[in-house]
């Protein structure tokens, strides 16, 4: 090998080494940028989980007056805490798991939206009943201004006796049935809703035949089975009902079952439903339940 050939080889090797060095530095720079981007995405996702946890905590602090919904909120809140802790332990370079946790976040948000609608519905009902009760009390006060102290005493006594003698539905278990009256959990197969309920023992309630009305609301707030000729009186108004059942109440605890057949055009959608029970002009029980896909 002559000297000229030697220097040519040296120069070629130098060029190749320089090219490899540039390629290595470029790839390392790109890798660093990718890791930094994943770290940013992880931080943003962690903030979203923390915000969702705060929202769940806010709803847990509310006085919901519904043990079933409270338990569902508690379970979802714990699920968010578990996923948040897993995200904190996950390395930023684990792009696959971070993407999975991002999908989990979207699922939890959808579930929370259902819970929010249910809580808002309960709050709206309580506010409406509160306003109507306040209006009735105000009207009674205007009529009986001649003896306000006696009127107030009579009102308190009347309300106490009324509450003591009022029926109360203490539990309600929904069952979804198909066209053959068999239990099914598939929303597309549901043709009838069955409700197994319990009326509490109340010896102060006047015994005899009672008419128990029920209103079943779907996730969109629509009344199932609504009809112009299916009305009953409640708080000086005529409102529609889903079903009515006659029963003989003796003052002892009563286990009953009522059914809500679904019409041809009443498809069943997944989500949270509510059934409200009324008797003797009083709202005596309200229970949410969920139908899954």
The predicted-structure confidence for 55-78, as pLDDT tens digits, reads as follows: 767 766 666 666 666 677 777 777
Among 253, 254, 258, which residue's Cα sits nearest to residue 241? 258
**Residue 169, token pair as written in the block:** 């539905």
**Residue 85, token pair as written in the block:** 């802790």
Q: Directed axis angle between helix 95-143 and helix 3-60, to 10°?
A: 20
Span 167-291 CATH architecture: Sandwich (2.60)
Among 124, 66, 57, which residue's Cα sits nearest to residue 84? 57
pLDDT at position 155:
56
Enclosing H/E stretch for 249: strand 243-249
CA 213 to chain centre: 24
The predicted-structure confidence for 97-151, as pLDDT tens digits, reads as follows: 777 877 777 777 777 767 667 766 766 777 777 777 777 777 777 767 665 654 5
Q: What is the pLDDT along the chain (293 residues), one digit of tens a residue?
A: 677 777 777 677 777 776 676 666 566 655 555 556 666 677 777 777 777 777 767 766 666 666 666 677 777 777 777 777 877 777 766 777 777 877 777 777 777 767 667 766 766 777 777 777 777 777 777 767 665 654 564 554 345 445 667 899 999 999 999 989 999 988 888 999 999 999 999 988 889 999 999 999 999 999 998 888 899 999 999 999 999 999 999 999 999 999 998 876 666 888 999 999 999 999 999 999 999 87
pLDDT at position 150:
45
| Contact between residue 213 and residue 244 where contact means Cβ atoms under 8 Å apart | yes
Cα(119)–Cα(62) distance, rounded to whole angstroms? 9
Q: Kindly list the domain boundaries of the chain, sorted by start residue.
A: 3-119, 167-291
pLDDT at position 160:
45
Confidence (pTM): 0.46
DSSP classification of residue 170 = E
Cα(27)–Cα(21) distance, rounded to whole angstroms? 10
Cα(172)–Cα(288) distance, rounded to whole angstroms? 9
DSSP classification of residue 263 = P
Cα(238)–Cα(218) distance, rounded to whole angstroms? 20
DSSP classification of residue 183 = B
Q: Directed axis angle between helix 67-89 and helix 3-60, to 10°?
A: 160
DSSP classification of residue 195 = E
The bridge status of strand 237-240 relative to strand 192-199 is unpaired
């Amino acid at each position: 090998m002559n000297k000229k050939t030697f220097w040519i080889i040296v120069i070629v090797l130098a060029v190749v080494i320089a090219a490899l060095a540039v390629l290595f530095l470029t790839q390392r720079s790109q890798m660093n940028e990718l890791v930094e981007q994943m770290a940013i995405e992880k931080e943003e996702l962690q903030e979203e989980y923390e915000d969702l946890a705060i929202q769940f905590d806010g709803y847990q602090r509310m006085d919901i007056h519904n043990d079933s919904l409270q338990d569902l909120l508690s379970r979802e809140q714990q699920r968010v805490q578990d996923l948040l802790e897993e995200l904190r332990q996950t390395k930023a370079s684990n792009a696959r798991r971070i993407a999975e946790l991002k999908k989990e976040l979207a699922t939890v948000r959808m579930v929370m939206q259902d819970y929010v609608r249910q809580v808002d519905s309960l709050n709206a009902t309580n506010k409406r009943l509160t306003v109507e009760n306040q209006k009735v009390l105000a009207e009674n006060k205007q009529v009986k201004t001649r003896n306000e102290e006696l009127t107030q005493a009579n009102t308190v006594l009347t309300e106490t006796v009324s509450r003591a003698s009022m029926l109360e539905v203490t539990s309600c278990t929904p069952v979804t049935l198909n066209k053959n009256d068999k239990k099914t959990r598939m929303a597309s197969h549901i043709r009838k809703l069955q409700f197994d309920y319990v009326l509490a023992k109340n010896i102060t309630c006047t015994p005899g035949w009672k008419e128990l009305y029920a209103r079943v609301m779907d996730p969109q707030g629509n009344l199932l089975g609504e009809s112009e000729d299916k009305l009953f009186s409640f708080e000086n108004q005529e409102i529609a009902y889903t079903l009515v059942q006659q029963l003989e109440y003796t003052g002892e605890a009563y286990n009953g079952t009522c059914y809500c057949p679904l019409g041809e055009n009443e498809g069943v959608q997944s989500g949270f439903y509510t059934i409200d029970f009324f008797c003797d002009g009083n709202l005596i029980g309200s229970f949410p339940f969920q139908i899954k896909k």
